[in-house]
A and B are shown apart, each in its own frame.
Chain A
Amino acid sequence: MERGGAAPDRVYFDYAGFAPVDPRVLAVMRPFLEAGIGNPSAPHSLGSEARESLEAARAKVARLVGGSASGVVFTSGATEANNLAIRGVVLRAPMGARHVISSAVEHISVLNACRDLEKVGAAVTILPVDGEGQVNPDEVRRAIRPETALVSIAAACGEIGTTQPVTDIARITRAAGIPLHVDAVGALGRMPLASNMGFDLMTVSSNDLYGPPGAGALWVRPGVKVAPQILGGGQEGGYRSGTENLPALVGLGVAAELMRAEAAHGEPARLAGLRDRLVEGLLTALPDWRLTGPRSARLPHHVSLVLRGAKADSILLDLDLCGVAASSGSACAQRTGAPSHVLRAIGCAPQEMEGSLCFTLGRWSTTSEVDAVIERLPPIVLRLRSLALPASR
Chain B
Amino acid sequence: MAAAPKVLIPDKEIDCIGLFCPIPIVKTREAIQRMNVGELIAMLSDDPASDADMRSWCRSTGHDLIEVTREGGVYRFLVRKTR
Contacts and interface: CB of A to CB of B under 8 A. Distances in A.
Interface in A244-285: none
B56 A338 contact: yes
Contacts of A112: 20-21, 47
A101 to B, nearest CB: 16
A336 B22 contact: yes
Contacts of B25: 335-336, 338
Interface residues of A, number: 21
Contacts of B29: 336-337
A10 interface: no
B48 A335 contact: no
Contact of B59 (A108, A119, A350): A350
A124 B60 CA distance: 27
A339 B21 contact: no
Interface string B45-60: 0111100110011011
B49 A115 contact: yes
B2 to A, nearest CB: 38
A362 B68 CA distance: 45
Contacts of B5: none
Interface string A92-124: 000000000000000010011001101100001
A170 B20 CA distance: 29
A393 interface: yes
A332 B53 CA distance: 11
A339 B73 CA distance: 24
B1 interface: no
Given A336-B26, A338-B56, A108 B61 contact: no
A332 B56 contact: no
A344 interface: yes
A108 B48 contact: no
Interface string B21-37: 11001100100000000
A338 B47 CA distance: 16
Contacts of B62: 393
B46 A119 contact: yes
A108 B26 contact: no
B26 A335 contact: yes
Interface in A208-223: none
A332 B59 CA distance: 17
Interface in A315-373: 332-333, 335-339, 341, 344, 350, 353-354
A333 B60 CA distance: 11
Nearest to B83: A393
Contacts of A338: 22, 25, 53, 56-57, 60-61
Interface of A: 108, 111-112, 115-116, 118-119, 124, 332-333, 335-339, 341, 344, 350, 353-354, 393
Given A115-B20, A336-B53, A344-B52, 6 more contacts: A336-B22, A336-B25, A337-B57, A338-B25, A338-B57, A350-B59
Across the A-B interface, the 6 shortest Cβ-Cβ residue pairs: A338-B57, A336-B25, A112-B20, A332-B22, A336-B22, A115-B48
8 contacts: A119-B48, A335-B22, A336-B22, A336-B26, A337-B29, A338-B25, A341-B53, A344-B52
